[in-house]
Amino acid sequence: MATCYNGGTCQDRLETYVCECPTDWEGVHCHLVAGICKNRNCNTTHVCVAAAFERSQICVDEEKHLIQLSYDNTAGVPIETFQARLLDFILHHGRLPVLSNPNQRTRRQEQTIGEVQVFVVSAVEQGDRFVFEIVVLKNPSDVFTKDAVLTILAVTCRDISK
């Protein structure tokens, strides 16, 4: 079952869901304050990223942290549906480790989900291709590097295809 916060309404889609958010909230789960980065001026090499459920944001280095993913949409999937599937995959299958105590043993699911947040900087439809720019946060003040996320996702995809 989908989780839509802050009064969001769940819209069932093929193999996923999309949250319809009230005007003060946005994001896949209605977990981001709407427009929080609109008036934040980061310098030209950084991008604004909102913290989930908070009225705060940080500027992150585009070169180190901004991940661009593209998808050839030959199946005709709506961009909102694909975005929800993409974020679900990253959060639940991406194996992004988040441990408060690295010596503590926990189940894989707890490590994977932890407090990881995926912030969609942009989602653009270019003909039959979707282009997403995302930033993955370990927590509101610590950001995964682009190289770390891409390496982890590549290993995950390789393991799934075996």
Section 91-112 average pLDDT: 46
Residue 152 has, within 13 A of its CA and on its CB side, a CA count of 19
Section 96-116 average pLDDT: 43
Over residues 24-37, the pLDDT tens digits come to 999 888 888 998 88
Q: Predicted confidence band at 59 (pLDDT cuts at 50, 70, 90)?
A: very high
Contacts of 71 (CB under 8 A, 6+ apart): 82, 86, 129, 130, 132
The SS3 of residue 26 is strand
Q: Predicted confidence band at 115 (pLDDT cuts at 50, 70, 90)?
A: low
On the 0-12 / 13-18 / 19+ scale of CB atoms within 10 A, 90 is buried
Write down the residue that tokens 């989908």 correspond to.
2
* Token digits of residue 96: 């992004």
Q: pTM for this one? A: 0.78
Reply yes or no on whether the pLDDT at 61 is more than 90: yes
Section 4-25 average pLDDT: 87
The pLDDT assigned to 134 comes to: 94
The pLDDT assigned to 62 comes to: 94
